[in-house]
Every structure is written in C-alpha cells, then in structure tokens.
Chains A and B, each alone.
Chain A
C-alpha cells in the first residue's frame, strides 16, 4: 500500500461511522439553568426529524450572556431580557422560547396545598422581615378558614444569582414602592431578612426542614417535588392557585409586540392570570461571521421546530408554551434581524 492510499484511508475512516447521519449537525448553547430540562428534552426529540443535536451548557444567564458576547457558542440563554442598549452594543437579537413561573411554598403543619392565601402586601412584609409570626392578625384576616400556627416566619431565598430571583424580585418591586426603593430587583440582591440557600433544591430543603419557613421556587421544581404551594391575590383582585390555566392566561394576556420581545408578564391585570411568570430568552448574533452562519441557521431551525412540535413536551415539564401569534412574530424577527456577511437573511422558512 503506498503512501497516498494510506492517507486517503486515514481521512476516510473517521467519516465512516457518520455516513448514516450525513447531515447531523451540532449547535452549541450556553446560559440559563432554568430552561435546561426543556432544551435537553427538545434536543432529544429533534434529533431524528431535524438532524440537529443541541449541546446546551447550563452555566447561568450571566455566563450565557458572556459567552454569546464572546461568540464562543451559537446562542446564549438568559432568564432576564437584555435592554435595547445592551443588545445593540453586543449586536445580539433576543427572542423568548417559553415562559416559566415562580410559586411560593410554605411549611405550615396542618395547612393543605394551595390553602394558604397571600396578598402582595403581605409577601413584601414577610420578605422585609416585618411579619414575625404566622398568627399575625393580617394573615389570620386573610385565612379565616384555616388554622394558622404560632410559628416564627422564616423567609428564605436563592442566594446564588438566578433568573428565579430576578422574576420574583421584579414582582415585589412592581407591587411595592418600598421594595423597589429598598432591596430592588435583580438576579442577586441584598435581602433584608431571612436565609439564603443555593438553588431550588437548597431553598426547598430549608422549607421542608423548617416549620414556618416560606420561600419562592420555580413551579416545575415545586410540582416534581410535591412542594406545598400557596394562593396569591393577583392584580385583578382574585386569589389564584399556581396551576397551568393561570400560567397560560398570563402568556395569552401578555403583549408580545414590544421591542426585543421583552414582554412583561409580571402582575398582569387579567383576573385569571398567575402574577409571577416570565419568559426565558435566547440570544442570537445579528451578524454571524461566515463560519458561524450554519450554526445560527440551525439554531433558528431548532427553535422553529420546537415552536411547532414542542408545546406538549413543554407542558409536560411544567413550562408554558408561547401563544402561536408570538411564534410568528419571532420568525419574522429572525428573517429581518439576522444577516450573514453578505447582508442576506440567514433565516428562511423551511419548505414544509
């Protein structure tokens, strides 16, 4: 065997096992931890029909923004939307993939799931450290039909920077001037009272271990782990239990035509809506260089597929799919905003 044929064999061999998946490509994404289970499940489901595999690293929204800014991944993912200025500076476009919701969970012996009623004012006071005992007159007044124990109120929160904290504190800032001008809203804030724990599991652990504890967690986590949740009075004045119809009502009531899809689903006036929901976002370069164009195109193909076929998966994992009108707006934005180096749109609707 001469040298040339050896070389040819050497280059051909690694390609052999892949011959059956000639078009199988991998896209890479990094960012928010909250949508990770969904993106992974979508990725499994899309592998066959779409020949696209997603490699998603859930390193946190901040990390996702940093990585897509450095263009080391095909897309970034962030729970909080970026501002127009931030997007322009980084030459990124953003679109929501699904919505998530945040619920309150409390450990009150003898109080059933979704029996406890809370108002925005009381929640703010609890997390401000202004409610000392669960048999506080304000709480008793709200909950005449259940027996509240004489336990200390122990608020707990996510101490690691997280989109969940951003959503919850944005809600608190929305319903209370004192909170807005005090602790404020962000992925990590300086909490005036209570204990911090790491991740949803840390907060849930404190809630389970401490009679009298109350904290906020992602709904998906609360459902899977059978946490005891509470009702909440929404802007429409009704007490709402954190259940799928209430989440879908929030998604439907939101205005998706706002710039950068930074739709506000927090504390909507719709009387059927759960007040603490928020979209989670994908960040895509608006000017992918030639070698990144396929990655960008496949990212959009992937999410286009997920929008058309992934709603059931999302619902099973307790995520809230966007209304289909929002999907159409997103596709239009892809076509308009993401351009290859020659200025042609990267996204073209697949021939269905």
Chain B
C-alpha cells in the first residue's frame, strides 16, 4: 500500500512538471498568436520593431540573431577557460586544492545575475571601452575582410562584446563543473596506460580523456548555452538595447530576453506589442528546448555507453 502511494506521488510530481511546462508553452503560444497571425513567418525574418502607436510593426529577427550571437560568442569565450579549469582540477592541482577550488568555481553559479549585470555595467563596460575598443578597435579595423568586425561608430561601451564576456563568466561554472565531473569518470587504467607509454599530460588529455568524454563535454557546453540563451538581467544591463543587428563586436544590439524585460511592463494588455513579446518568448522557449534536449540526449548516450 505504502509503495503504491509513493509510486503515484512520484508519478504525479513528474506529470505535474510536464503539465506545467506544457501550460507555459501553450500560454506563450496563445499570447503570441495575434502577432503570428498578423505577421506570419515574416515575424521570424523582419528586423523592424516599431511599437509606435498607430503603425505597430514587429519582427523578431534582431532579437533572435542577438540572442544566438551573444550566446555563441559567450561559449567561444567560456569553453577554453572552462577546459583549463577542468584540466587543472583533474590533472595538475594538488589534491588539497581540488575541493576548495572546485567549490569556489561552483559558487560562481550562485551569484545573482543582477550582480553580474551591475558589475558588468560599472566595471567591465568602462574597461572594455577604454582598454579594448579604443586601442584594438581602431588598430584592427584597418585589417582587410575582418576589419569590419571591429569598426564601430558606437563608443558608449555597452555592446555585444561586453554582453558576451559577462555571459561567458556566468556560464563558466556550469561548463567547468560538467567537464571536471566527466574527466574524473575516465577509468584510471586508460590514463595510466597512456602515461606508461610515455605520454605527457597534454597528450593524455587530448589523446585519451577528451576522446573518451567528448560527447559529455559537448553536453555540458550545451547546458551552458541553454543558460546563456535565457539570461536576462545581466545582458540587459550591458548589451546596449538597440534594435539593430550588430555588424561589429562593439555594436549594441538586443536579445529576446532583454526586449521582453524592457518592454513588457509598459505594453498594454491585449495589444499587438504585448502579443509580439509573447511570441518572442515562445520562440526563446523553443530555442532553449532544442538546445537542452540535445544536451540531455548527448549526456545520456555517454552514461549508457
């Protein structure tokens, strides 16, 4: 009897989460329906975001591209550092340092995102503006082909580059912790055999550990990507919030989450603007779902194998 009650309680809890998720996605879809009806597929590709009364025209392309670009840049910044941390913690660090340092990295995940946002705005943005954009931006913009990536007429410092840096720091603990955990799962006998053949630490890492844990590492990176996609407060502070596609690292742009955070409170219930914000929320949900589902899939196949 007790077993049966327990089983159904657990089953109910699981079903409840599914229902809740379903409820959220249905609510977002219904909220966004008027916008999808009005603009159709154009909503995905139009860069026009004009909330001015009487000529409302909404397209989510800038926010969607901004979300993907800032998240991918953040992954590019975070992965090498996370790899370094995980490598250090599993191979190089003396045993007494491993636990405290691992805990410290994980604690980074507990800092509220608004703190990262404020720190980004007050410390990182002026630093990037003075020490990266001004010296490097001018010098690198002379380069052929890629010069345009560094050339910007925007000097306020809040930019996609600053946003990606803040995001990279925020997702670092997730990726580093996953990498450390899976590196530790590598059977010692594999590594010892490689060391026995005269391999260096680097060769063991790249020749044995990485191939063995490759899929799990990618899964961890996807988890970080999922976190970066939905991050709102910190990004809102530092990305510059402009409805323009960034053609350079130092251009301001916007993300789905920050457009919603910025414009939702002032939008009228039932209006086309609010509906478009719901529609953007729905799209963000879809993107995050795809990313998280694929990370789950990758992590699971490793655990079985």
Contact = CB atoms under 8 A, between A and B. Distances in A.
A210 B157 contact: yes
Interface stretch (A156-164, A279-287, A331-339): A156-164
A189 B122 contact: no
B121 A189 contact: no
A66 interface: yes
A323 interface: no
Nearest to A181: B55
B146 interface: no
A160 B236 CA distance: 10
Given A190-B48, A209-B157, A212-B155, A195 B268 contact: no
A62 B155 contact: no
A63 B267 CA distance: 7
B246 to A, nearest CB: 12
A198 B266 CA distance: 13
A66 B269 contact: yes
A197 B52 contact: no
Contacts of B153: 129, 132, 152
Chain A, interface size category, equals: 35 or more
Q: Is the interface of B mostly helix, strand, loop or mixed?
A: loop
B243 A191 contact: yes
B52 A152 contact: no
Given A152-B155, A205-B122, A197 B55 contact: no
Nearest to B48: A190
A161 B156 contact: no
B50 A160 contact: no
A144 to B, nearest CB: 26
Contacts of A183: 52
Contacts of A187: 51, 266
B263 A198 contact: no
Contacts of A206: 156-158
A96 interface: no
Given A197-B158, A210-B156, A62 B265 contact: yes
A161 B241 CA distance: 12
A213 B243 CA distance: 19
A194 B262 contact: no
B161 to A, nearest CB: 13
B102 interface: no
Given A195-B242, A206-B156, A69 B269 contact: yes
Given A152-B155, A188-B51, A196 B263 contact: no
A120 interface: no
Interface string B255-273: 0001001110111110000
Report, nearest first, the 8 A-B pairs whose CB atoms are least far apart. A161-B266, A196-B241, A159-B241, A184-B52, A60-B265, A62-B266, A195-B156, A195-B240
Given A66-B269, A161-B266, 14 more contacts: A62-B268, A152-B155, A159-B241, A160-B266, A161-B267, A186-B52, A188-B51, A189-B52, A195-B252, A196-B240, A196-B252, A196-B262, A198-B237, A209-B156
